[in-house]
Amino acid sequence: MSEYREIITKSVVAKGRKFTQSNHSILPPHRPTSILGCWIINHKYDAKKSGKKVEVDGSFDVNVWYSHHDNSKTSVVIENITYKDIIKLKYRDADYYDDNEIIARVLQQPNCLEASISENGNKVVAQVEREMLVECIGETKMVVIYHRDESEEDWDDGIDDDEIDDINTDFLDLKDESEKD
């Protein structure tokens, strides 16, 4: 005899993903001669649902190490960059309830692809890429088949008490003694 059961559970009901490339102009206090390095650190973000989209508000610091005064001195300039990514959701489950719990994960941290001196020579242009994945968690209903077995089977393992008493529990100690000889 089988019956159907409905189970309410939390699951991923929608997902979205976005890859972004952007250019950021950074104005250092001294006119740069050459770029020695560019790093991105302190990435922070927060995500919230808005209709069938998720808004990710974030920020990161771009650190540019550059030379100036005809390559005679070096400095580091730090610029805080803020962004807002709108990520479209693809709904996988049409029968869901309350999908306001959002999980946002970074697939690729903001990374500097290239840093160069602008054409007019007074700014540094950093080309940055990043990728985010968002998931909406909601309650959904699953239908499962439930089998009610009227006859209980005896879960006998086929070993009686006398056989258990005959098991030599010192077999490990005997092996260790034979290795000593």
Averaged pLDDT score across all residues of the chain = 87
Q: In 3D, which of 126, 80, 137, 74 has the Cα closest to residue 104?
A: 137
* Tens-digit pLDDT profile for residues 140-169: 888 888 877 655 555 566 677 777 777 777
* Residues whose CB falls within 8 Å of the CB of residue 98, separated by 6 or more in sequence, listed in order: 138, 139
In terms of pLDDT, which residue wins out, 7 or 80?
A: 80
Quick check: 30 pLDDT over 90? yes
Distance between CA atoms of residues 78 and 57, nearest Å = 20
Average pLDDT (124-147) is 91
77/95: higher pLDDT: 77
Q: What 3 state SS string does 61-105 have? A: EEEEEEEECCCCEEEEEEEEEEEEEEEECEECCCCEEEEEEEEEE
Instruction: Give the per-residue pLDDT at 6.
Output: 87
Q: What is the DSSP string of 99-135?
A: EEEEEEEEEEEEEEEEEEE-TTSS-EEEEEEEEEEEE
3-state secondary structure of 174: helix
Indicate if the pLDDT at residue 181 is higher than 70. Answer: no
Q: Which of 13-17, 51-55, 75-79, 91-95 is the least confident region?
A: 91-95
- Mean pLDDT for the stretch of residues 22-49: 96
